[in-house]
Structure 1
Amino acid sequence: MAPLLSVIVPTYGVGEYLPACLDSLLASTLEDLEVIVVDDGSPDESGEIADDYARVDPRVKPIHKENGGVGAARNTGVAAATGKYIAFADPDDLVPPRAYELLVGSCEATGSDIAAGNAWRYIEGKGNVPSWTHKDVFAENRMKTHIRELPTLIRDRMLWNKVYRRSFWNEHDYVFPHMRYEDYPIALRAHIDARSVDVLSDKVYLWRQRVSETSITQRSLDLDNIHDRVKSADMVLDTAEKAGGEIRRLIHAYMIDIDLVTLATAIPEAEDPGDKAEIERLAVGLARRLSPVDDGPETISRLIHHALRRGDTATAGLLAQWRVTKNNRELLTGLAHGKSLGILPAVARVLTSARLRLPQLRERKLRVRLMEVSRAHHSSSFQVEVNMRRVFLDKATFDAALAGDGRGDMPLESRVVAINGQRATVEIELPDSAVAALPDQPLQLVVTARIAPATWRGAVNSPRDKHPLPFEVAPGQWCVISHAPKAEASTWVRRVTEDYLVDLELEDGELRVRLDPRHQRVAIVRPAPSKPLIRRTIDGVATFELDQVLNDPADDPVSGRAFRDIVALEPEAAAKLQPGGLDAARLVSEVTGAKDEEATGGSAVPVTPGELTTDVAAGTDETEDDDADEGGLQARLQRSLERTGITPLVLRDFTETPLVWSEHVVALHRSRTGTAELSHQLKDHLPRW
């Protein structure tokens, strides 16, 4: 019987990474699949590795062929595939266990020809960060959409974050060209040809960036690489011409920003005169195919395009170098000695645009981080460190406040207790009476520095291990200090009632959840499309057997660690969640902020390489001041709670020492928002990747 899914893995020269890739594919919760490994005449042991896996698992089907390039290898794999759906994976990348079950399940539910999901970059030694190519395109779910409805899909140029309906693939007879950058022409055509596409915000692919290899930038500037890039661009532009309209305009804008700028960057980097002349010819030719676009490309990209259309490759190279070095003097000197005096006014506007804003008349960002929280005499004392130039520290006055309710700041007493170099220690007092009077929403801890007329203001960033456990500030009223969903690493203070609190115990192969007796059911939530574990409470205690808890693959194949929210359920909510699936998981995400937990690793332990982390990890002293939308968070969560019947539980007390059980390490901790969370990881998990 034919499998539901065929995954095609072309491989050449990456044998050291292939086992990790195959392990991740074979760990898929969608077990009805075949993995077709196409050994493209690889000079290393890739072919033997594929054969070894096939002897152990018959779902692995090796094909050995003479070297013909990745496009030919993919064509060979497609011809051999027997699944109802097809997918592609690169041999040095990783696929999370639920990815294919999500993607295929989405197509089965909606009838779409393609399902595509979010991707992350795995950087060796640093961990996982969102792929800038994908994070905006896949910011939210869009079922049965199309590139004409969601034109940002023009940037979805890779194949490996998708599944394709095989009948759709055959209908349009897609064949990969024999070159690098072979995926974008096919990916774009398929987006246009599809009757509908499902866009999922879930992370479905981990795209490796190897530290040991020649840098991506250097490889992209190689002449052979550039030849293939231009061939691919020509094929994409042919497709854009047929599509016309807004798709054509956006593709031209996108290629000016990405592909054309890459070619311009290669011009001054070329050492061989013949190579340089050929790169210049290719760059000018591509520039003249691309129509000028006033809105979309960066200003500097438009200037590069303008220069190349005129054949002024020297100016284009100077502008491209400036994008990397930001050396204003070098750029202006080069332009003044060239034939580009006419564009100097436009260049000057680019260079000076940031300077036109008078810094002394606008609020500037202040870097502040939490050092310690202590308790004494019905009050909490926050020790925070402010980072400024010493000349400013000596003159500034500091104020602290809780902000974010839309009604102005709640001032707090503060004083400078020490100055050391460019750092000042500020002590902030938060009386229990002030917490008890807080509105029903979290407020952000902020510090403001003033030297008239200048103002600096910053949220207090904090690592999660600096957050104290909840403490009582009035009968039945408790203070929670944590992060907030979407608020990165900044510190928020909120008031909760006692029925939100929970204690967790790990003992004798069981997880015991102790909470207010009014809660009748407790759930350990798993990512879509898996079903949650739900237990009834007896005298305010819900008990989970760890063997069942651990029957749950880790979301991140790099760290091998799984993070799970623990929530209380009303009876109607239990009925909604029990089937699992996308709708159930997103219902929980609405209340708990689970998506944001995933983005930062979801753990109270320090961030380690391999965890799913954002560009700004907890505890760093850089964050964006984009948290204004958090002002109504608690009110929105309360409305969601009333609508969904799901209560995120605030962790009050727990077994701090991890428990080793059935070859796993099980740990309890607070999530970044202070809620109850469990993690598990294989004890002997030593990633080869």
Structure 2
Amino acid sequence: MKWPAKHAARRRGRREPMLGVVVPAYGVEHWLPEALDSLLSSSHRALDVVVVDDGSPDASGEIAEEYAARDDRVRVVHTDNGGLGAARNVGTALVRGDYLAFLDSDDVVPAAAYATLVGELERSGSDFATGSILRWEAPPPAGAGLHEPPWMHRLHRPAREGITAREHPEILGDVFAWNKVFRRSFWDGAGLAWPEGVRYEDQPTTTRAYLAGRFDVLPAVVYHWRIRTDGTSITQQRSSLQDLADRWETKRLSLAAVREYDDPSVSAVFLDRVLAGDLHRYFTGIPGCDDAWWELLVAGVLELWGERSLVHSGLPPVHRLVGWLVEQDRRSDAAAVMAWFARLDGPAPQEERDGVRLLGVPLEVLDPTGVDPDALAIRAHERA
């Protein structure tokens, strides 16, 4: 679909539009050079790069200054440590450009990525564009190497232009800040900013962007997301109480924005498929968790899904069952199911009862008496 551009496309021969890129840096001296090298090698040459040294305890600030001395497209600002959201906001206030992007300082941007995203926006006139990503893990057998997550592949195909959240509500599951380019006038006009003092700050802001504008969805890979294994990245700290509290807060903020949007179909998809999508990562922490973490897990699940239940969500079958057990505050049963599932080499066994496929959880793991049949059901398109 061709959406009439609010902003006339630039005529051939005019200057290359300026792209402002904000690069927060904290404790990334090992990865920052590769990130900045990839950025400055971009085929889109008109860049204004602001590196925000967020009170980094290592040499990240000095490395950034070395790049600024060699390339006049790079500027560095040094701040007290305020966290990722605050660093992004500082950089956004300083960076110049017709368009705005964010690069995390331990990742890599492919050479053609920004040219692809900016070129699409110049042609379409949309408010922002988002592309697919590759997860950059350790090579097998320790990791999966460089690969496109299947859910990102699905969300970004087919290509779409000038659409709204109503037309593709599942795209709200692409919560990342860094695989997008925003028209700067849209960013400012919509009053967008990153939450500060909380982790997982991407989702509330990208959710508001999807709800506020028209956007393009591209199948092109525009970002390489490094999955660190040294224990220092935010996504490796899910077992902490503060991590879970932050996750609930950002989910709460995102859901509030969707409810304010007031479209029942978007709300249903968001609650069942988007907001629930990462809960399985927390359910793996149930065996061995402490009392306070469990109580917070139960409270958050009941707050967000208590009126509907996770049995209706898009979680895989075993995690829907565990979600129901969490709702019922059945800690020992939830822990037993997750420990059993972790020991399996493949999909969970299944059984058929009265023509309905159900999870075949052994009786010594979970007595099905008193369990909602919907919590055990396997849908027609699913493996266990």
Matched residue count: 350
Alignment partner, residue 20 of structure 2 = 6
SS of the equivalent of 1:135 reads helix
Letter in 1 for 2:365: G
Corresponding residue SS for 1:39: strand
Amino acid at match of 2:138: E
Q: Secondary structure at the match of 1:226?
A: helix
The Cα of 1:11 is off from its aligned counterpart by 1.0
**TM-score normalised according to structure 1 size:** 0.47
Equivalent residue number for residue 21 of structure 1: 35
| 1:112 paired to 2:126 | yes
Which position in structure 2 is the counterpart of 1:150?
A: 168
Aligned to 1:51: 65
SS of match in other structure, 1:258: coil
Q: Residue by residue, what CA displacement relative to the aligned partner does 1:485-514 show, whole Å, maximum 9, x if unpaired?
A: xxxxxxxxxxxxxxxxxxxxxxxxxxxxxx
CA-to-partner distance for each residue in 1:566-605, whole Å, 9 max, x for gaps? xxxxxxxxxxxxxxxxxxxxxxxxxxxxxxxxxxxxxxxx
Indicate how the Cα distance of structure 1 residues 18 and 217 shifts in structure 2: closer, same or farther if over 3 A, else same.
Answer: closer
* C-alpha contact 1:252 1:293 (8 A) present in aligned 2: no
Distance in 2 between residues matched to 1:320 and 1:215, nearest whole Å: 24
Cα deviation 1:2-57 (Å, max 9, x = unaligned): 96110111111111100000000000111111111111101010000000000000
One-letter amino acid matched to 2:56: S
Between Structure 1 and Structure 2, the one with more helix by share is 2
Change (3 A) 1:151 1:22: same
Mapping of residues 29-108 of structure 1, within 5 Å: 29-108=43-122
User: Using the alignment, how far apart are the partners of 1:153 and 1:349 within structure 2?
Assistant: 27
1:198-217 aligned within 5 A? 198-213=216-231
Kindly state the Cα deviation for residue 309 of structure 1 after the two structures are TM-superposed. Answer: 3.0
Of 262, 284, 306, which aligns to 1:265? 284
Q: 1:77 to 1:181 in 2, by over 3 A?
A: same
1:193 to 212, 236, 251: 212
Where relative contact order (Cα < 8 A, 6+ residues apart) is larger, the structure is 2
Deviates more, 1:204-213 or 1:40-49: 204-213
- Where 1:268 maps in the other structure, the secondary structure is coil
Cα distance change of structure 1 residues 293 and 334 upon mapping to structure 2, 3 Å threshold: closer
Matches within 5 A, 1:368-379: none
Identify if the C-alpha distance between structure 1 residues 261 and 153 changes in structure 2 by more than 3 Å, giving closer, same or farther. Answer: same
| Alpha-carbon distance between aligned partners in 1 of 2:149 and 2:259, rounded to the nearest angstrom | 28
In structure 1, what residue type is equivalent to 2:219?
A: S
Q: Does residue 333 of structure 1 match 2:347? A: no
* d(CA) in 1 for partners of 2:320, 2:22: 39
In structure 1, give the amino acid aligned to 2:320. R
| SS of residue paired to 2:364 | helix
Contact 1:24–1:95 (8 Å) recurs in 2: yes
Q: Letter of the 1:88 partner, please give it.
A: F
Counterpart pick for 1:236 among 247, 254, 260: 254
TM-superposed deviation, 1:220: 2.0
CA displacement 1:349-384 (0-9 Å, x = unmatched): 559x9999xxxxxxxxxxxxxxxxxxxxxxxxxxxx
After TM superposition, give the deviation of residue 111 of structure 1 in Å.
0.5
Percent identity over the alignment?
36
CA drift at 1:293: 6.5
Contact 2:201-2:250 within 8 A present in 1 as well: yes
Contact 2:231 2:237 in 1 (8 A): no
Unpaired segments of 5 or more residues in structure 2? Answer: 1-14, 350-359
- SS of equivalent to 1:230: helix
- For residue 38 of structure 1, what is the amino acid of its counterpart? V
2:266 to 247, 271, 278: 247
Q: What residue number does 2:352 align with?
A: none
User: Greater share of strand residues, 1 or 2?
Assistant: 1
> Is 1:252–1:290's contact at 8 Å kept on the other side of the alignment?
no
Match of 1:175 among 193, 203, 217: 193
Compute the RMSD of aligned alpha carbons: 3.0
Matched letter for residue 85 of structure 1? Y
Residue matched to 1:437 = none
Do the aligned residues in 1 keep the contact of 2:133 with 2:179 (CA within 8 Å)?
yes
CA contact (8 A) 1:220 1:226 kept: yes
Q: 1:91 to 1:267 in 2, by over 3 A?
A: same
What is the CA distance between 1:160 and its match in structure 2?
0.5
Q: What pairs with 1:474-493 in structure 2 (closer than 5 Å)?
A: none
Secondary structure in 2 aligned to 1:341?
Answer: coil
Q: Which residue of 2 aligns with 1:396?
A: none
User: Which residue of the partner structure matches residue 299 of structure 2?
Assistant: 281
How far off is 1:176 after superposition? 1.2
Structure 1 gaps of 5+ residues are 357-689
Q: How far apart, in 2, do the equivalents of 1:135 and 1:354 lie?
A: 19
Residue pair 1:122, 1:128 contacting (<8 A) in 2 also: yes
Residue 586 of structure 1 is matched in structure 2 by none
Which amino acid is the alignment partner of residue 12 of structure 1? Y
Partners of 1:29 and 1:354 in 2: CA distance: 43
How far apart in 2 are the matches of 1:45 and 1:170?
A: 33
- State how far apart, in whole Å, the 1-side matches of 2:207 and 2:313 are: 22
Contact between 2:135 and 2:226, CA under 8 Å: does it hold in 1? yes
Q: How does the TM-score come out when normalised to structure 2?
A: 0.82
- Aligned twin of 1:129: 147
1:219 maps to 2:247: no
Find the aligned partners of 2:127 and 2:24 in 1 and give their Cα distance.
23
